[in-house]
Amino acid sequence: MLPDEFVNSLTEILSAEEANALCNTIENGRSVTSIRLNPFKVSEKPEGKPVPWNRYGLLLDERPSFTLDPTYHAGAYYVQEASSMFVEHLYRTAIGERQGIKLLDLCAAPGGKSTLYSTVVGLDGIVVANEVIRQRAMALAGNVQKWGLGNVVVTNNDPSHFAGFRNWFDVIAVDAPCSGEGMFRKDPKAREEWSPELVTMCAARQRRILADIWGALKPGGILIYSTCTYNRHENEENVAWLASEYDCEGVEVSVPEEWKIVTGNISTEGGVPIPTFRFYPHRVAGEGFFAAIIRKGGQGERACAPKPRRSIFTEIQKGTQRSISSWVAQPEYMKFVQVAGNVYAYYNDTFADVKTIAESMSVITSGIMMGQLFSGKLKPEHPLALFHDVNKNDIATAELPLDAALDYLRKQNVESSYFSEGINLVTYCGFPIGWVKRIGNRANNMYPKELRITNL
Ligand code: SAM
């Protein structure tokens, strides 16, 4: 049953007929499963129904067992709710193909939008994927490593900790913690936890988060605000509050009518009105979602970042660098350094920015964790296998059939005859899924224990 107060509140945003249709869809409709492909790993988009507002999104007819698909564990795609993929359309409209973008995804776990943003900013940009709850930040780090682009720094900070960054980020995404009305169909727990008091509490918290982070956005920079809830308090009212407090305006975004998104406008003082976008499951193939896109006013103010609190990167000797670089396909774009005894790879273009963040914030992971050095030789770690540019040409690779790949992912023994002596990059359908070290007749399964699949 839907909470009465929720049903009554719908009259504030929908006609009686549409409110009925929405409640009916929440109660009786079937959630649509959708995935977003990783274009850095999948070269051809498989046949299927596209998500209209996302070039890599696909709607599936049914929900397969993703756990039993090794390409899922290879980061070939991310299982993501379709409505929320709309932020890609907003990003592309506002930023296009601009290079060197610094994007902060402030409320990032489990990583649906961070992996999307890491794709659209490209390899010359960076995403700071931040999550305040530590355990969720760890899960976020796992998903970012699986996606494997190497252009993300995962941090575990409260939004207020970004106060030291002034006018620094080109884009800030606030996918705010909310009362979750848009998830009522998919997640019955969201209904149980909902109350009018929760809505009030969330709306106040969202304002705090926006106020905490506004200074870190560059003048002319873009804020993408989103929630997965319907009520106006957490959505339009917060955007209107932002427009009344700060110098900002909207960004014009074209949305074809056949997408069936409900659009609106919030006026600003003399500037472009701020467009808003509402997704209702009785209209679109997706769950409930709200988004708005805002451009910060002002110009020319100097960017500054916090002073480094510590130095964490150690240079690696030239000779060792050369042997490390053979593990990636295009080492000329990368820099290899050590952090706490582990070798990491970063893109040259953005290393200075990564360093600024890593030396002032609480970082969980960044770049590509490659492994540890033993007598100048690298013992590879799992994230390197999932890096989109791991050197498949010069490393021994072992392609496994489905059954053996699943055994591998369960961290069971796999027949040693699949492998060459020494380190092997294990692949399924050509997608790397991890490492095996063969010594004689023994194949040492190096799949991380904490990631192993446990169902049969
Ligand atoms: N962007 C994520 C994605 O696409 O996968 C979903 C984010 S979820 C809607 C909101 C996140 O905000 C949660 O991970 C939650 O832990 C985090 N959060 C909770 N309280 C917060 C706070 N006070 N400040 C910032 N983030 C908070």
Say if 169 falls within a structural domain.
Answer: no
Q: How far does residue 203's CA lie from ligand 1's centre (Å)?
A: 14
In terms of Cα–Cα distance, which of 103, 31, 145, 25 is closest to 385? Answer: 145
Tell me the average pLDDT of the chain: 97
Ligand 1, atom 1, lies closest to the CA of 108
How many CB atoms within 10 Å of residue 123?
20
Domain of residue 419, residue span: 392-456
In a domain, residue 397? The reply is yes
Confidence of residue 375 (pLDDT cuts 50, 70, 90): very high
| Range 119-126 average pLDDT | 98
For position 301, what pLDDT does the model report?
Answer: 87
Residue nearest to atom 3 of ligand 1 (CA): 112
pLDDT at 406 over 90: yes
Residue nearest to atom 16 of ligand 1 (CA): 133
> What is the pLDDT averaged over residues 98-114?
98
Cα separation of 432 and 395, whole Å?
Answer: 11
Measured in Å, residue 185 CA sits from the centre of ligand 1 at: 20
**Does residue 74 belong to any structural domain of this protein?**
no
Q: What is the pLDDT of residue 270?
A: 87
Centre of ligand 1 to C-alpha 362, Å, is 17
Residue nearest atom 18 in ligand 1 by C-alpha distance: 177
228 is an active site residue: yes
Residue whose CA is closest, atom 26 of ligand 1? 107
Spell out which residues line ligand 1, taking CB within 6 angstroms: 84, 107-113, 131-133, 136, 159, 175, 177, 205, 209
Peptide bond into 306 cis (omega under 30): no
β-strand pairing of 49-50 with 169-175: unpaired
CATH of the domain at 438: 3.10.450.720
Please state the domain count of the chain.
1
Q: Residue 240's pLDDT is what?
A: 98
Nearest to 4 by CA among 30, 31, 23, 32: 23
More confident call, 37 vs 319: 37
Assigned domain for 260 exists: no
pLDDT tens, position by position, 287-307:
999 999 999 999 888 999 999
- What mean pLDDT comes out for the span 355-384? 97
Distance 108 CA to ligand 1 centre (A): 6
Mean pLDDT of 268-292: 97
In a domain, 444, yes or no: yes
Nearest one of 236, 286, 242 to 264, comparing CA atoms: 236
Confidence label for 397 from pLDDT (cuts 50, 70 and 90):
very high
Residue 456 pLDDT class (50, 70, 90 cuts): low
Q: Which of 83, 107, 175, 183 to mutate to test the pocket of ligand 1 (most atoms within 8 A of CB)?
A: 107
Residue 190, in any domain of the structure? no
| 447 domain-assigned | yes
Nearest alpha carbon to residue 55 among 85, 11, 97: 85
320 Cα to the center of ligand 1, angstroms: 40
Average pLDDT over residues 3-26: 96
Q: Which of 23, 228, 304, 429 is catalytic?
A: 228
What confidence tens digit (pLDDT) does each residue in 315-336 have?
Answer: 999 999 999 999 999 999 999 9
In a domain, 319, yes or no: no
pTM tops 0.85: yes
